[in-house]
């Protein structure tokens, strides 16, 4: 039986569908048949093995006397073809019959994929190892070219194809695999293409919840029966993982289908959370789908965006190296092994990482005339930039904001109150600070707060040291950090946080960018002392 070049078009389609770049060579006079694997480009570093599926006699580009090759279990292959597609293969009993059936369905790409998958599962023997460059094959026929690379590396994918070795055939295609990025929403209104504030590096207070995005690109999945797609997200101990699938909780995990990396996820994008399995185990979050192809609207070039909120906690690292959060994407990478029951058929992307920083403020209380004299037992509170909230501090670490006592807010005009027989003036009430907001200087005149964001704060003295005058004005404290504000951070903490400084009422303090600590000095002057005997006002 002879088969024309129509069959060649089907098998070339198979080659293309399975993303193989190869050159099939035939010498009409010398009887040489071989395959050339390019030594550069997408196949660089890959190894391949050729299994002869059909052997045949070739003349002028036409194959005849088709029979089973030595690289296929013919009876098992035929039985599997009949089970998979009886309408096409049920009447076949020989290799020539199968070749004729394929010839009749040359334009059916779905059939091409199916035949290649079944051939891969029924190959036999050791095949012919293909080297980079040209490798001779046993003879004319059709070959299954299997990617036998031990490890395609992160971001790679395996390839398989059925190939006719006749004439000079060059197929130029490319593999496709997904990619993943991670972004954190900083408290700055800057859009770098990922939405307002989304970037690689940010800084926050301990306890502050912020939004994270995992952004996975959808690849060409047409070669696969099913397509696994799993985000693996790992939190450092200074970050608290999110809650699971709670629409009422802004920190819960949601999954969206988007046309771009920058998506208005609360308005225009499709919520596809119900198609994913979401689990939190310790400091690891997994968001997985066993078959991305089954989700309506998911097509090549779109994006799967996982959104959740996470907060810095009391374990947060101060300064460098910061509190990193990494993600990688696990995905199907063996087209011929992507059906039910197939295992060991996934690869992974390289990791992408963001980092969050937080800082420590050290305040030294000293004598205003002699800075070497440290003043213990001074009491302060740290106010927000608007002076409406006061910091709670537990075990030296920032623990959130609470409202300033009403008596410490700007007072209403005094009222005259007459109560016989006394006359008194009443103002805005008495001070009642939460004990967890009061910062007291130690024996060395020092108090510290760990876990502060960069920004403006105010220190208010609420009790001066004994024999010293209280400060009459709040102290403006400005912490300034220079962090990487781009979208291609190299993962090095030193390039993420590059500078740190502090001022107190405009006067520069000390800073250590590596440890994330800044320091200021606050002076108090002594009060006037009355003489023990004599003096004005001491005699009658």
Model pLDDT, residue 175: 62
Please determine, for residue 477, whether its predicted confidence score (pLDDT) is greater than 70: yes
In the predicted model, what is the mean pLDDT of residues 47-66? 81
The per-residue pLDDT of the chain, averaged, comes to 82
User: For strand 180-185 and strand 160-165, is the pairing parallel, antiparallel, or unpaired?
Assistant: unpaired
* Assigned CATH class of 180-355: mainly beta
Helix or strand or coil: residue 276? coil
DSSP string, 164-198: EESS-EEE--------EEEEEE-SS--BSSSSBTE
pLDDT at 460 over 50: yes
Q: Is the pLDDT of residue 491 over 70?
A: yes
pLDDT value of position 47: 77
How sure is the predictor about 106, in pLDDT bands with cuts at 50, 70 and 90?
A: low
Q: Quick one: DSSP state of residue 97?
A: H
Domain layout of the chain by residue ranges: 2-171, 180-355, 359-387+437-524
Q: Which pLDDT score, from 0 to 100, does residue 225 have?
A: 84
Per-state percent for the chain, helix, strand, coil, to nearest 5? 15, 40, 45
Give pLDDT, residue 539. 31
- Lowest-confidence range among 50-64, 145-159, 184-198, 522-536? 522-536
pLDDT at 6 over 50: no
Pairing of strands 277-281, 284-289: antiparallel
Assess contact for 29 and 58: CB atoms under 8 A: no
Task: Say what percent of the chain tops pLDDT 90.
Answer: 54
CATH topology of domain 359-387+437-524: Immunoglobulin-like (2.60.40)
Same fold, 180-355 and 359-387+437-524: yes
Q: Specify whether the CB–CB gap between 365 and 462 falls below 8 A.
A: no
What pLDDT is stored for residue 340 in this prediction? Answer: 66
- What gap in Å lies between CA 390 and CA 437, rounded to an integer? 7
Residue 337 CA to residue 340 CA, distance in Å, equals 9
What sign for the dihedral angle of Cα 361, 365, 368, 370?
negative
Higher pLDDT, 423 or 310: 310
Q: Grade residue 222 by pLDDT with cuts at 50, 70 and 90.
A: confident
User: Dihedral angle at the C-alpha atoms of 41, 42, 46, 47, nearest 10 degrees?
Assistant: -80
Structure letter (DSSP) for residue 338: -
Please report, rounded to a whole number, the percentage of residues in the chain having pLDDT higher than 70: 76
Give dist(CA 215, CA 210) in Å, integer: 16
Q: Strands 510-512 and 517-524: what pairing?
A: antiparallel
Could you give the dihedral angle defined by the CA atoms of residues 152, 153, 154 and 155, in that order, rounded to the nearest 10 degrees? -40
């Amino acid at each position: 039986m002879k088969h024309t070049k129509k069959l060649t078009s089907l098998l070339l389609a198979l080659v293309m569908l399975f993303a193989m770049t190869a050159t099939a060579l035939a010498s009409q006079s010398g009887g040489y048949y071989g395959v050339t694997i390019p030594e550069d480009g997408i196949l660089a570093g890959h190894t391949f093995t050729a299994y002869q599926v059909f052997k045949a006699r070739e003349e002028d580009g036409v194959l005849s006397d088709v029979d089973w090759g030595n690289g296929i279990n013919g009876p098992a292959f035929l039985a599997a073809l009949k089970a998979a597609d009886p309408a096409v293969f049920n009447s076949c009993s020989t290799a020539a019959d199968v070749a004729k059936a394929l010839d009749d369905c040359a334009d059916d790409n779905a059939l091409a994929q199916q035949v290649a998958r079944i051939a891969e599962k029924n190959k036999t023997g050791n095949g012919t190892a293909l080297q980079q460059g040209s490798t001779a094959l046993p003879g004319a026929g059709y070959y299954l070219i299997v990617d036998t690379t031990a490890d395609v590396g992160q971001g790679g994918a395996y390839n398989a194809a059925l190939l006719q070795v006749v004439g000079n055939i060059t197929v130029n295609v490319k593999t496709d695999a997904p990619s993943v990025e991670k972004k954190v929403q900083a408290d700055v209104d800057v859009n770098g293409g990922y939405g307002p504030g989304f970037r690689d590096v940010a800084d926050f207070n301990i306890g502050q919840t912020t939004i994270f995005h995992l952004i996975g690109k959808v690849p060409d999945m047409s070669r696969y029966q099913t397509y696994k797609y799993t985000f693996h997200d790992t939190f450092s101990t200074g970050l608290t993982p999110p809650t699971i699938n709670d629409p009422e909780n802004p920190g819960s995990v949601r999954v969206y289908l988007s046309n771009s990396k920058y998506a208005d996820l609360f308005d225009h994008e499709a919520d596809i959370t119900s198609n994913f399995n979401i689990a939190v185990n310790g400091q690891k979050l997994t968001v997985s789908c066993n078959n991305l192809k089954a989700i309506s609207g998911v097509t090549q070039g779109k994006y799967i965006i996982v959104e959740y909120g996470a907060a810095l906690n009391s374990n947060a690292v101060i300064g460098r190296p910061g509190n990193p959060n990494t993600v990688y994407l696990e995905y199907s990478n063996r087209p011929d092994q992507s059906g039910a029951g197939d295992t060991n058929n996934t690869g992974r992307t390289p990791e992408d990482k963001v980092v969050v920083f937080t800082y420590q403020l050290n305040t030294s209380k000293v004598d205003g005339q002699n800075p070497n004299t440290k003043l213990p037992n001074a009491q302060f509170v740290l106010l927000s930039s608007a002076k409406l909230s006061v910091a709670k501090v537990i075990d030296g670490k920032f623990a959130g904001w609470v409202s300033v006592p009403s008596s410490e807010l700007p007072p209403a005009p005094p009222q005259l109150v007459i109560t016989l027989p006394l006359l008194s003036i009443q103002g805005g009430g008495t001070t009642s600070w939460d004990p967890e907001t009061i910062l007291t200087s130690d024996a060395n005149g020092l108090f510290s707060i760990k876990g502060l964001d960069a920004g403006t704060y105010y220190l208010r003295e609420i009790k001066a040291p004994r024999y010293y005058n209280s400060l009459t004005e709040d102290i403006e404290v400005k912490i300034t950090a220079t962090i990487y504000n781009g979208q291609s951070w190299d993962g090095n903490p030193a390039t993420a946080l590059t500078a740190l400084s502090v001022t107190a009422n405009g006067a520069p303090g000390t800073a250590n960018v590596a440890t994330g600590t800044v320091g200021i000095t606050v002076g108090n002057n002594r009060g006037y002392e009355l003489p023990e005997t004599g003096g004005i006002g001491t005699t009658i």
